[in-house]
């Protein structure tokens, strides 16, 4: 019986180019993956609004994981979710793992005030400012500000990150590092969300072989949960420093070129 695969993919710096946010270099391989009906599950620090727009452009209609594992958005009737705690939001059934954004935002303000630390969250910025610091266009920057479970922030004193992590824990929160920003989140991560989706796919199809692709430290929980972890080379030519992982594949190329390289190698797509 042919092995069923499922692909869990980070976006920024992985399936999307770090500078241009384009996935064009991966498109030929992505089309072949779709033709084989292999699910491509996007797993990102981006918002639901951003991820929906990207999914549409890629022609994907699979579950996706947003804001560093804050929630799993599952198209209705994709799985039998009977007995699971979930919410209905539009065309999705949603499994929430994170904490409400208002709580995260309130904690960030208190951390900043109590410690007199210069840090700026997305909620402090206008869309034009988010666009300027991230390289996003204005419309996508507006989507990036529609946070539900995660507050990206800029730290002007990086030497104080340890102190911020300690203070975050006092609020029951944590800080993770993405490709561009630090993120203040709840007790969620990409790995917990992947574990839930792997179980749902195995209930539906039986045994699956999971592939996970990422480029930064906040992808580590995901990479630990999959059968074949892939570390994408960063845009600066270096690799994120991660603990040793079984079956780890490292790409020669960065971004979507590296994504296509890895998937070609693992799936032997011709």
87-99: average pLDDT: 95
CA 240 to CA 200: how far, in whole Å? Answer: 30
What class is the 5-98+189-267 domain?
A: alpha beta
pLDDT at 270: 59
Is the pLDDT score of 93 beyond 90? Answer: yes
The two structure tokens encoding residue 202: 């195995």
pLDDT digits (tens, 9 = 90+) for 137-174: 999 999 999 999 999 999 988 889 999 999 999 999 99
What are the residue boundaries of the structural domains of the chain, listed by start?
Answer: 5-98+189-267, 101-185
Residue whose structure tokens are 């800029």: 154
How large is the average pLDDT for residues 201-228? 95
DSSP 36: T
Q: Which of 256, 250, 213, 212 is nearest to 233 (CA)?
A: 250
For the ranges 31-35, 171-175, 176-180, 257-261, the lowest mean pLDDT is seen at 176-180
Fold of 101-185: 3.30.980
CA-wise closest residue to 77 among 93, 90, 61: 93
150 has catalytic annotation: no
Q: What is the pLDDT of residue 268?
A: 86
Catalytic residue chosen out of the listed positions 10, 150, 215, 219: 10
The DSSP code for 2 is P
Q: Cβ distance 98 to 150 under 8 Å?
A: yes
Q: What is the pLDDT of residue 269?
A: 72
Per-residue pLDDT reduced to its tens digit, 31-79: 999 999 999 999 999 999 999 999 999 999 999 999 999 999 999 999 9
Residue reference for tokens 């824990």: 169
Ramachandran category for residue 237: left, alpha or beta (phi over 0 → left; psi -120 to 50 → alpha): left
Is 179 a residue whose pLDDT tops 90?
A: no
Q: What is the mean pLDDT of residues 98-106?
A: 96
Per-residue pLDDT, 180 = 84
Closest to 127 measured CA to CA, from 143, 113, 115, 114: 143
Q: Are the beta carbons of 82 and 89 closer than 8 angstroms?
A: no
Q: Is the pLDDT of residue 1 over 60?
A: no
């Amino acid at each position: 019986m042919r092995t069923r695969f499922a692909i869990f993919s980070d976006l920024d710096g992985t399936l999307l180019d770090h500078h241009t946010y384009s996935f064009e270099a991966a498109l030929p391989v992505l089309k072949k993956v779709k033709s084989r009906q292999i699910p491509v599950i996007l797993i990102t620090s981006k918002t639901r609004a951003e991820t929906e727009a990207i999914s549409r452009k890629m022609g994907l209609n699979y579950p996706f994981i947003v804001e560093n594992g804050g929630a799993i958005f599952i198209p209705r009737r994709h799985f039998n979710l009977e007995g699971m705690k979930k919410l209905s939001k539009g065309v999705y059934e949603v499994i929430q793992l994170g904490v409400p954004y208002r709580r995260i935002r309130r904690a960030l303000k208190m951390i900043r005030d109590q410690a007199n630390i210069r840090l700026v969250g997305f909620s402090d910025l206008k869309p034009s400012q988010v666009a300027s610091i991230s390289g996003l266009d204005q419309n996508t920057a507006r989507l990036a500000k529609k946070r539900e479970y995660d507050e990206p922030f800029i730290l002007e004193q990086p030497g104080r990150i340890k102190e911020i992590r300690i203070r975050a824990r006092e609020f029951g929160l944590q800080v993770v590092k993405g490709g561009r920003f630090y993120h203040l989140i709840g007790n969620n991560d990409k790995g917990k969300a992947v574990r839930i989706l792997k179980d749902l796919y195995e209930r539906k199809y039986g045994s699956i072989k999971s592939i996970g692709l990422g480029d930064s430290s906040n992808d580590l929980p995901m990479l630990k949960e999959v059968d074949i972890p892939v570390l994408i080379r960063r845009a600066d030519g270096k690799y994120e420093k991660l603990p040793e992982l079984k079956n780890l594949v490292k790409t020669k190329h960065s971004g979507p070129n590296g994504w296509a390289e890895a998937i070609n190698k693992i799936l032997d797509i011709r």
